[in-house]
């Protein structure tokens, strides 16, 4: 979603306004300034005052997005394009900067804080590799017992284990085991990056060549795979 | 055939309503469209006014008991449904003992490749189940459906992490984009959340935000997409715009 689409969703008639503006060759917030009052009024179906309010919202939105892009907010996720298009700076209107800051509101701040927690979760303080002592999202005490029954007691063993064997042996659902193994691989990779001189971990009790290969190659060289990577 | 999986681990964020109406909008744009209901609650099936009864449904297809073509239900010219039934939950339970159960849908849809231009997969409201794994394996595109509310966004980020884990071994990774739904611009809360979503997801978001609408709720309850009864309505325009965007993006990617 670009800034113009966001503006049309927030203060216009959504896709109707967006399509009309784009049909006129207006592709961004700056392009709005080039449109005449009456033309913009026709598109929006508003009088002169409504048009001025729309232009003002466009300027404030530009400042707000520009300000947020300079904060330490997590980088937007790119799927098709690697980065979101830069939001064009609005004309240097003598708008007081505190207006944009106040407009940000506590809700946005709270939501962005939550997202930061997801993007940068608190690292487990324990340096232990024993499953019973590590913090792994979704790993319950019963799971630890079930995994220990088939000889999987450490992060490395879980990361390199053959998932089908592990599922059959432990009685845990396949998807749950796969999720835990994924988290274990991530933690192992992170530990290896932090301490590159530490000798390689022991091999898994329940493991396979495929799992070991994936663990070693899939992450250490190219980083985590995935559509958001 | 493009295959779009609509997913999020949170229920009530508009996945099923979006799936039904997007399928109808794509169909109205001349696309031969298949709607696949992967939710054991069968809400998409009910939402288009279909009753499965004792006929074949998706669970029979996934278990390899019948080919997908024989379970299809005709909804509209150029629009077919692969319906769900309550028995679909059995597939999730039995999958523990199956070999590569997450590939069943991908295999089942292969014979339909030339019969349809687009398939819309309505996923169940959990991200780590084998049914969602099936949808992600089969999909060429993933649409993360996110309600414009703070809790839904947390769910979306959790879902994203799980999707990445599930897709880790995929050879062809689907593209993933975010769709904002249930947007009510009259409330400051919704406006703030949409701005925050824009700041978080950027270009990965669809330009179209689906606005909340009583008409949409009524349409699903009555078993008829609102595009068929009120094609000029605001909600219909939203879905036509989304359909255009989906088609445009797919064309761009194909190039």
| Fold adopted by A131-220 | DNA polymerase; domain 1 (1.10.150)
Domain ranges in chain A? 3-119, 131-220
Q: How far apart are CA A216 and CA A196, in angstroms?
A: 13
Number of domains observed in the structure of chain B: 1
Nearest to A182 among B165, B173, B200 (CB): B165
Q: Does the complex come out with an ipTM higher than 0.85?
A: no
Q: Report the range of poorest mean pLDDT among A90-94, B3-7, B181-185, B199-203.
A: A90-94
CB of A208 within 8 Å of a chain B CB? The answer is no
Kind and range of the H or E element at B33? strand B33-37
Cβ pairs A/B, distance under 8 A: 169
Asked if the model's pLDDT at residue B157 lies above 80, the reply is: no
Contact A107 B199 (CB under 8 A): no
Choosing among B140, B173, B199, B236, which should be mutated to test the A contact, i.e. which has the most A CBs within 10 A?
B199
pLDDT at A109: 61
Q: Judge whether A53 is closer than 8 Å to chain B, CB to CB.
A: no
Highest mean pLDDT among A3-7, A88-92, A121-125: A3-7
Q: pTM for this one?
A: 0.67
* Interface residue of B100, B133, B202, B249 to substitute, partner A, most A CBs within 10 Å: B202
Interchain CB distance below 8 Å, B194 and A6: yes
- Please report which helix (H) or strand (E) contains residue B3, including its range: strand B2-7
Q: What is the DSSP string of B200-216?
A: HHGGGB-S--PBP-HHH
- Does residue B151 sit at the A interface (CB-CB below 8 Å)? no
- 8 Å CB contact between A11 and B185: yes
Write out the DSSP string of B119-180. Answer: EEEE--S-SSSHHHHHHHHH-SEEEEEEESSHHHHHHHHHHHHHHHHHTTT-SSPPEEEEEE
Quick one: pLDDT at residue B111? 94
Cα A99 to chain centroid distance, Å, stands at 28
List the end-to-end C-alpha distance of chain B, in Å, as a whole number.
15
Q: Which of B162, B163, B165 to mutate to test the interface with A (most CBs of A within 10 A)?
A: B165
Q: Do A225 and B162 touch (CB under 8 A)?
A: no
Query: Would you say residue A169 has pLDDT above 80?
Result: yes
In this predicted model, which residue has the larger pLDDT, A54 or A123?
Answer: A54
The domain that contains B140 carries what CATH number?
3.40.50.300
- pLDDT of B224 above 60: yes
- What's phi and psi for B127, nearest 5 deg? -90, -20
Inter-chain residue contact B203 with A214, CB threshold 8 Å: no
Per-residue pLDDT at B249 exceeds 60: yes
pLDDT band at A95 (very low <50, low <70, confident <90, very high): very low
Best mutation target among A2, A4, A6, A65 (most B Cβ atoms within 10 Å) is A6
Distance (Å, rounded) from C-alpha B56 to C-alpha A214?
Answer: 39
Range of the domain at B217: 2-254
Q: A174 at the B interface (CB within 8 A)?
A: yes
Q: What is the mean pLDDT of chain B?
A: 87
- Separation of alpha carbons A71 and A90, rounded Å: 18
Mean pLDDT score, A160-182: 86
From the CA of B86, how many Å to the nearest CA of chain A? 20
| CB–CB contact A227 B163 (8 Å) | yes
Report the residue of chain A nearest B151, measured CA to CA.
A111
B66 touches chain A (CB under 8 A): no
Cβ contacts of B241 on chain A, cutoff 8 Å: 14-15, 18-19
- Nearest CA to B183 among B242, B136, B225? B242
A225 to chain B nearest CA, in Å? 6
B207 neighbourhood in chain A, CB within 8 Å: 1-2, 5, 15, 18
Residues 6+ apart with CB under 8 A from B201: A1, A76, A77, B178
Q: How far is B200 from chain A (nearest CA, A)?
A: 5
């Amino acid at each position: 979603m670009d800034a113009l689409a966001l503006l049309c969703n927030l203060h216009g008639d959504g896709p109707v306004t967006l399509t009309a503006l784009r049909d006129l060759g207006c592709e961004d917030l700056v392009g709005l300034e080039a449109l005449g009052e009456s033309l913009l009024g026709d598109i929006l179906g508003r009088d002169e005052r409504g048009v001025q309010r729309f232009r003002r919202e466009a300027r404030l939105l530009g400042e707000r997005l520009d300000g947020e892009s300079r904060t330490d907010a997590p980088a937007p996720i790119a799927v098709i394009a690697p980065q979101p298009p830069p939001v064009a700076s609005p004309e240097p209107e003598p708008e007081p900067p505190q207006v944009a800051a106040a407009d940000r509101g506590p809700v946005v701040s709270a939501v962005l804080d939550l997202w930061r927690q997801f993007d940068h979760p608190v690292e487990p303080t324990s340096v232990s590799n024993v499953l019973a002592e590590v913090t792994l999202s979704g790993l319950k005490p019963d799971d630890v017992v079930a995994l220990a029954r088939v000889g999987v007691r450490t992060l490395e063993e879980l990361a390199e284990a053959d998932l089908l064997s592990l599922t059959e042996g432990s009685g845990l659902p396949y998807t749950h085991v796969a999720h835990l193994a994924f988290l274990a691989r991530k933690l192992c990779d992170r530990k290896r990056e932090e301490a590159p001189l530490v000798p390689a971990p022991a091999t898994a009790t329940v493991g396979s060549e495929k799992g070991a290969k994936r663990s070693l190659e899939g992450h250490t060289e190219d980083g985590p795979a995935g559509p958001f990577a | 055939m493009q295959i779009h999986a609509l997913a999020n681990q949170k229920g009530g964020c508009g996945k099923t309503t979006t799936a039904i109406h997007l399928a109808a909008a794509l169909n109205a744009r001349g696309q031969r469209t298949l709607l696949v209901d992967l939710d054991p609650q069968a809400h998409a099936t009910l939402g288009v006014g279909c009753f499965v009864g004792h006929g074949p449904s998706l669970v029979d297809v996934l278990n390899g008991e019948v080919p997908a073509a024989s379970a299809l239900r005709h909804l509209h010219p150029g629009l077919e449904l692969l319906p769900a039934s309550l028995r679909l939950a059995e597939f999730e339970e039995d999958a523990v003992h199956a070999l590569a159960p997450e590939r069943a849908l991908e295999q089942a849809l292969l014979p339909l490749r030339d019969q349809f231009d687009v398939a819309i997969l309505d996923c169940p409201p959990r991200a780590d189940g084998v049914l969602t794994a099936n949808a992600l394996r089969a999909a060429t595109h993933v649409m993360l459906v996110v309600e414009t509310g703070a809790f839904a966004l947390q769910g979306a980020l959790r879902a994203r992490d799980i999707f990445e884990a599930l897709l880790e071994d995929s050879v062809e990774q689907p593209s993933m984009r975010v769709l904002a739904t249930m947007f009510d611009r009259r409330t400051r809360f919704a406006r703030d959340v949409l701005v925050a979503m824009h700041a978080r997801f950027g270009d990965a978001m669809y330009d179209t935000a689906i606005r909340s609408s009583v008409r949409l709720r009524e349409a699903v309850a009555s078993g008829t997409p609102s595009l068929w009864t009120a094609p000029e309505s605001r909600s219909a325009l939203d879905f036509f715009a989304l359909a255009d965007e989906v088609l445009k993006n797919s064309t761009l990617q194909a190039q």
